[in-house]
Structure 1
Amino acid sequence: MDFLPDLPAIVAGHGHAVLLSADGELAHLTPGRVAKQLAGAIPLVVHGPATLKRLGNPAIAVLDILELFAFVCPAQSLAPTAAGLARFLEVPVPATQEDAAAALAGYAEALLAKLSLGRDVPANRDAPGLAAAMGQAGWGWAPYVLAALHAPAARADGMALRLWKRLPRWEAEAPRPPASTFPIAPAQARARLATLLGESAEQRPAQSDYAAAATTAFLPRAAEGNPHLIIAEAGTGTGKTLGYLAPASLWAEMNAGPVWISTFTRHLQRQIESEAARLGPLEGDRARVVLRKGRENYLCLLNYQDAVESKRGIIPLGLISRWATASSDGDLMGGDLPGWFAELFGHMFLASIADKRGECIHAACEHYTRCTIEHVVRKARMADLVIANHALVMAQAVWGGLDDEYVPSRYVFDEGHHIFDAADSAFSIELSGTQLAELRRWLLGAEGTRSRAKALAQRFEDLTAVDESLIRHLDAALLAAKALPAPGWSARLAADLAGLQHTAANPSELFLQSLRLQARARAQDAELTGPMPVEVELFPIEDEIIESGAKLARALEKLRAPLAALRERFLDRLETEAETLDEPTRLRLEGAARSLKRRAIDPLAAWKRILDSLPTAAPTPGMRPEKIHFLRLEREQGQDRDIALLTHLLDPTEAFIETIAAPAHGMLITSATLRDGVDN
C-alpha cells in the first residue's frame, strides 16, 4: 500500500542539485534555480538544514525523511544521508545523486510501512493523537503518518505530549551492602578474557598478560590509605579494554560490588560500553553496565513540561516524546538520540529541555519518581560496571558521593595520561562574576527574568515552615545573598563609570572591578583588543584587591554561616525524627542538605579561603610554589564580560592521590601512552 502521493525529491551537492519532479523527470540545476523549478511543491530531502544551506537557504518547505525516521524508529540512529537510510532499510545503496533522488520516496514508503505494521503495538497507542498535534503545529508528515496508522481523522491529543505521565516510576531500594574483597587470580582473568573473545579470536599473548597483571588492582587492601595501585601501558593493538574488563567484571560478580571505569573522552565510553556487551545481560532487571554522565546531559521532565505548556516547538517536542519512551537512559547529548537531531532543530532546543546547573529541585519536583537522571542513578547503584568520565569521578570523590553518599572502592582509569588535566580542573578554585552570580540566582531566584529558577525560600518552603529557627536562618542567608553580583553586573563590569555607585555598594562587584582594573593594567595592549581571554599573574597584587577582598570575605561568611546552620538543622531532623519521617520528606531533607553543601557552603568556604590568603599568598621569588594564582579576563565583542581569580595546584596529582587514590582499595591507571617519572 502506498501512503505517499507522487512528490518531488532533491539531493543537493556543493554548487549543484539533482531534482526529481513529481512526474519522475530528473533535472540538474544550480542551487538558485531549485526553488523556481519546484513552483511551490514540497520536496523530499534527507537532512533539511544541510540541503537548504547548499541551495542558498531558499524560503521553501521540505519533507525531511530524518524527521519521519525519528518518529517511526525512536531511539535508533543512522547516518543522515540517503546511503545511511539505504543501509538501515537493508536495500541497495544508491551509487549516484540521481539514484539517491529516485530512491527517497521508496525510503519514506518503507518507513511508513514499518509504522503501519506496528500500529497496534503499545508503543504506538498515542501515536495518532501525537501526530495530529504535530500536524496542527505544521508538521508536513502528519497526514501520511496518520494514513499509515489507519487513523486519518485522528484528533490532536495534548495528553500524547505529556511524557511525564507515561514514563515508568523508579522504586526505592535498600542500599547495596558493602562489597566483599575476594581476589581474582591471574588464571581466572585469562579464562574470562578467552570467553569474552571467543574461540575464533586472534590469540594475543600481550592482551592475556595484561589481563593477568590487572588483577593486582583487585587484591584485598592490606592497610588503610594504601591501595593496590597499578600503572599499565598498553600500546595500540594490545586490546586493553577487554584486558581490564575481564578482571573487573569477575571481581564485580564475585564481590557484589561495582567497579567504576573512568575515561577522558566520550568516544571511549561508548567503546567500552560496546565491548562490555560481550558479558551478556544479568538475570532480572539489574543492569550489568551503566553509563553515568553529568546531569546536564539528560532530559529534564520539568523543563520539557514547561516547553509543552508554552507550546514552544511542538514538532521537536513530539519527536522527543517518542524518543524518551524508547530511550535506554534519557541522555540527550550522546545517548540513543541521533546526533543529527540537534542539527535539525537546534542545539538551543535540546539545551532548553536538559537539566540545568543549579535548577534541579530533586525530591520537590513533581516528576521526581519518573526522573530520567534518578533512573540512571539507581541503575548505577546496582550495576557491576559503571562507566563515567574523569571529571564526574573526581567530583564524586571530592563531594563524598554524587547523588547519594556512595564512593567506589575499585577504579579503572583509562586514558590515564589525561588524569593530570582532569585533576587540575577538579581541584582548582575559580572565583568569578559568573560563579558568584549563579549562586545569587540559586539563592534568590530569577529576580525579574522569565526563567523558572525558584528562590531557595520557595524550594525549601515545606521544610522550613515547621520550625521558626529554620525560617530565621533562611531569611538571614537570603539577606546576605544581596552581597553577590546583582542582575546586570556584567554590563556594569565593562563600564568604566556607569553603575559606579551600585558597584561600590556591592562587595562582590567592587572586588570584581578591582580584579578587572589590575588585569587590564598588567595585560599587553594588543591582548585587550583581541577576542581571546586575557590572563595575567595575580602577584604582585594591588592594595585595592586586598582591601575589597577582605570586605567580600566578610560578606561571604555572613552568607555561609546561616546556610550551614540551616543544613545542620536539616541533618538534625533526619537523625532525631528518623522513626517518624515519611519517605518523601526524608528524601527532601537529604537532597536539601546535599544541595546546600555542594551549591553554596563548600564554594563559599573555598572562596573565603582564597580571599583570606591574599595578603600572605605571594610566592617567594626563586622558590617552588604549591599553588599558582592568576586572573582571567573574559571578553566578548570587544567588551569585558567577566573576570575570574583562579587558583591551581602546581601538581594536582597530589590532590588526586589524597582524595581519590588513598581512600580506594584498588586502582588501575592505564593508557596507550603512559610513563612514570623514570620513563618506565
Structure 2
Amino acid sequence: MPSLPALPALAAGHGRAVLLDADGVISPLKPGMVARAVGATIPLAIHAPATLKRLGNPAIQLLDLLELFAFVHPAQSLAPTPAGFARALELPVPHSLESAAQALPEMAALLLNRLEAGKNTPANRDAAGLAARMGQAGWLWAPYVLHALGQPDARPDGMAMRLWKRLPKWEEVAPRPPPSSFAVAPAEARARLASLLGPAAEQRPAQADFCSAVTGAFAPREAEGSPQVVLAEAGTGTGKTMGYLAPASLWAERNKGAVWVSTYTRHLQRQIEQEASRLPPGTSVVLRKGRENYLCLLNFEDAMNAETRAIPLGLIARWAAASADGDLFGGDLPGWFAELYGQGLLASIADRRGECIHAACPHFSTCVIERVIRDARQADLVIANHALVMAQAVWGGLDDDNVPTRYVFD
C-alpha cells in the first residue's frame, strides 16, 4: 500500500467545520477560524469549491478527493459527500462532521491503494506521464499519484494528454439490409415482458395489457405511406417503458431492424437505457444525442494550449479513454466535474453546431461522435431525443433504406 503521510482533513457544514490535524486531533471551528487553524498545511476535503463556499472562501488550498477519484476511477461517479464516498468505497458511512474528517485519510489511502494495484494495467500505461504533466501545472495530488504508480520521478509527458492517440478507430461497416416486416403477436409480447421482468416481479395486469396494446404499432403496413400508429396511455407506475420495450425488442430481433425510441430529455433517455439493460444478452442499445453533447477532439487539442487548463484536461483525458460514449453532459462524466472546473470548460471542448469539419478533421477516424453514429446504424434499439429523431427523419428522407421503420415516442 502506498505510504500516505499524515495529512490534515477538513469537513465543513453550514456555519461550522471540523479540522483533523496531522496528529489526529479533532478541532471544531467556526468558519472565520479555519484559515488560521489550517495555516500552511493543505487539508484533505471533498468538493473543494463547496467546502470553501461554506467557510466564507478563506485563502487556503485543499486536496480534493473528488479529483483523486476522477483520476483513479475515470467514467465512474459517486455522490460528492463524505457519505457518498463511503458508500462507493464500501467504508462505514460517517454521520457527523467529526467522523467525516476522520474518514477522509482512509478514503485517500484506499484510492491510492487501488491505483497502485492497477498500475501495470493498460488503462494506466500513460498515467505517470499524465500525472507528472498535471503536477507541472500545479496538481496537488501529483506526488501521491506518482508514488502509487511506482514512478515518483516520472517526467511530464505531453503526449499522454493526446487522447486521440489512445482511442480506438471506428470502421465503416456495410449498411444493414432493409428489415423484414414480421408482426409481433400480443401473446408473444406478454411472454417477452414476463421473461424480462422475471418470476419475482410484481404482477401488474395493466402493464401486460399496455404491452399487448402497443403491438399493433409493430404490425406490417397495409399500404405504402400508411404506417401503423398506436396512441397508448397508462397511469404513472404502470410500467410503460418495459411495456413497449418488450414488443420493440422482439420486433428488432425477429426482423433484423432497429426501433428508435424518442423521448424529450437526457434524463429520460438515461432512464430508458437503464430499463433496456434488462433486454436479452446481445441486444444492441445505443444512446443518440445531438453533436453538441459530445467531446470534440479538435476542440480538446486547441484547449491544451492553455496551461491553466492542464489539470482538468488531464482528468478529461483519463475519462475519455474509459468513457462509453464521450458524452460530456449526461453520460458517464460525473455531474460534479463541471462544479469543480466550470461549465465553460466543458462547453469549450464539446462539438459546436456548424463548426465540425467532418472528414477534414485530423481526428476523424477516432471521433467519438462518428463512432456513436455508426454504432446506431447497427443497433437494435436507439434511444434518442425528439429533436434528433425529427432531424434524422428529414436527413434520411432521400434514402428510404436508411430510415427507421419503427418508432416509439415516449
TM-score (norm 2): 0.97
Q: CA deviation at 1:398?
A: 3.2
Task: State how far apart, in whole Å, the 1-side matches of 2:190 and 2:375 are.
Answer: 29
Residue in structure 2 matching 1:388, options 370, 384, 389: 384
Q: Tell me whether 1:347 sits opposite 2:343 in the alignment.
A: yes
1:317 aligns with 2:313: yes
The runs of at least 4 aligned residues of structure 1 exceeding 4 Å deviation read none
User: Which AA in structure 2 matches 1:382?
Assistant: Q
Aligned pairs (5 A) from 1:5-154: 5-154=5-154
Measured in 1, the distance between the counterparts of 2:198 and 2:45 equals 43
Partner of 2:323: 327
- Conserved 8 A contact 1:3-1:112: no
Give the 5 Å matches for 1:510-529: none
Aligned-residue offset at 1:22: 1.3
Counterparts of residues 189-228 of structure 1 (less than 5 Å): 189-228=189-228
Q: Which runs of 5+ in 2 are unaligned?
A: none
Q: What are the residue-to-residue correspondences of 1:176-575 with 2, within 5 Å?
A: 176-282=176-282, 288-400=284-396, 406-414=402-410
Q: Please state whether the residue corresponding to 1:262 is helix, strand or coil.
A: strand
Moved more, 137-146 or 391-400: 391-400
Give, as a single letter, the amino acid of the residue that structure 2 aligns with 1:341: F
| C-alpha separation in 1, matches of 2:397 and 2:59 | 52
Higher alpha-carbon deviation: 41-50 or 219-228:
219-228
Partners in 2 of 1:86 and 1:405 — Cα distance? 51
Matched position secondary structure for 2:173: coil
SS in 1 for 2:277: helix
Paired residue for 1:431? none
Structure 1 CA distance for aligned equivalents of residues 52 and 208 of structure 2: 52
1:377 alignment partner AA: I
User: Aligned letter for 2:214?
Assistant: A
For 1:372, give the aligned amino acid. Answer: V
* CA RMSD, Structure 1 to Structure 2 (Å): 1.4
1:158 matched to 2:154: no
Give the whole-Å Cα distance in 2 for the aligned partners of 1:310 and 1:136.
Answer: 13
2:137–2:307 Cα contact (<8 Å) kept: no
Shift of 1:14: 1.1
Cα drift, residue 395 of structure 1: 1.9
Amino acid in the other structure paired with 2:403: V
- Deviation of residue 56 (structure 1)? 0.9
The SS at the match of 1:19 is: strand
1:278 counterpart SS class: coil
Of structures 1 and 2, the larger Rg is shown by: 1
Tell me: CA distance 1:405–1:154, structure 2 relative to 1, closer, same or farther (3 Å). Answer: farther
Q: How much does 1:337 deviate?
A: 0.4
TM-superposed deviation, 1:405:
8.5
Give the deviation of 1:397 after TM superposition. Answer: 2.2
Decide whether the 8 Å contact of 2:178 with 2:401 is kept in 1.
no
C-alpha separation in 1, matches of 2:93 and 2:138:
31
1-structure distance, mates of 2:253, 2:189: 13
Matches of 1:197 and 1:310, distance apart in 2: 51
CA distance in 2, matches of 1:280, 1:152: 47
Verify the 8 A CA contact 1:11 1:45 in the aligned structure 2.
Answer: yes
Q: Is the 8 A contact 1:302 1:367 kept in 2?
A: yes
- Quick one: distance in 1 between partners of 2:170 and 2:280? 23
Whole-angstrom distance in 1 between the partners of 2:276 and 2:205: 20
Q: Which amino acid aligns with 1:260?
A: W
The separation in 2 between residues aligned to 1:255 and 1:3, in whole angstroms, is 58
Q: Identical aligned pairs, as a percentage? A: 70
Partner SS for 2:93: coil
> 1:164 touches 1:305 (CA, 8 Å); kept in 2?
no
Residue 401 of structure 1 deviates from its aligned partner by 6.4
Distance 2:298 2:178 in 1: 34
Cα distance in structure 1, aligned partners of 2:63 and 2:198? 46
Closer, same or farther: CA 372–405 of 1 in aligned 2, 3 Å = farther
Question: Secondary structure at the residue paired with 1:388?
Answer: strand
8 Å CA contact retained: 1:79, 1:85: yes
Q: Would the alpha carbon gap of residues 405 and 254 (structure 1) be closer, same or farther in structure 2, given more than 3 Å must change?
A: closer
Answer yes or no: is the 8 Å Cα contact 2:288–2:384 preserved in 1.
Answer: yes
**Alignment deviations for residues 284-340 of structure 1 (CA, whole Å, 9 cap, x no partner):** xxx610000110000000001111134340001110110001000000001000000
Distance 1:215 1:270 in 2: 24
Counterpart of 1:244 in 2: which secondary structure? helix
CA contact 1:190–1:211 (8 Å) conserved in 2: yes
DSSP-derived class of the 1:279 partner:
coil
The answer to whether the Cα contact below 8 Å between 1:18 and 1:101 also exists between their aligned partners in 2 is: yes
Q: Name the structure 2 match of 1:171.
A: 171
Q: Per-residue displacement from partner, 1:478-519 (whole Å, max 9, x unpaired)?
A: xxxxxxxxxxxxxxxxxxxxxxxxxxxxxxxxxxxxxxxxxx
Task: Supply the AA of the counterpart residue of 1:189.
Answer: A
State the Cα distance separating 1:225 from its structure 2 match. Answer: 2.2
1:280 shift after superposition: 4.0
- Report the CA distance between 1:224 and its aligned residue: 2.0
Q: Distance in 2 between matches of 1:383 and 1:11?
A: 47
Deviation at 1:265?
Answer: 2.1
Residues 396, 403 of structure 2: 8 Å contact kept: yes
Whole-angstrom CA distance in 1 between matches of 2:97 and 2:89: 18
**Structure showing greater relative contact order (alpha-carbon pairs closer than 8 Å, 6 or more residues apart):** 2
**Any idea what SS the aligned residue of 1:129 has?**
helix
Q: Tell me, in whole angstroms, the C-alpha distance in 2 between the residues paired with 1:83 and 1:406.
A: 48
Q: Is the 8 A contact 1:161 1:318 kept in 2?
A: yes
Secondary structure, aligned partner of 1:184:
coil
* 1:406 Cα deviation after fit: 3.2
TM-score, normalising length from structure 1? Answer: 0.59
User: 2: CA distance between counterparts of 1:406 and 1:137?
Assistant: 48
Checking the alignment, whether the CA contact within 8 Å between 1:186 and 1:213 is kept in structure 2 is yes
SS at match of 1:359: coil
Once residues 281 and 180 of structure 2 are traced to their aligned partners in structure 1, the CA distance between those partners, rounded to angstroms, is: 22
SS at match of 2:164: helix
1:105 shift after superposition: 0.5
Matched residue, 1:641:
none
Secondary structure at the residue paired with 1:15? coil
Cα deviation per residue 1:113-137 (whole Å; 9 max; x = unaligned)? Answer: 0010011111001001001000000
Give the match's secondary structure for 1:387. strand
Please report how far the alpha carbon of residue 2 of structure 1 lies from its aligned counterpart in structure 2 after TM superposition. 4.5
Alpha-carbon separation, structure 2, partners of 1:10 and 1:81:
12
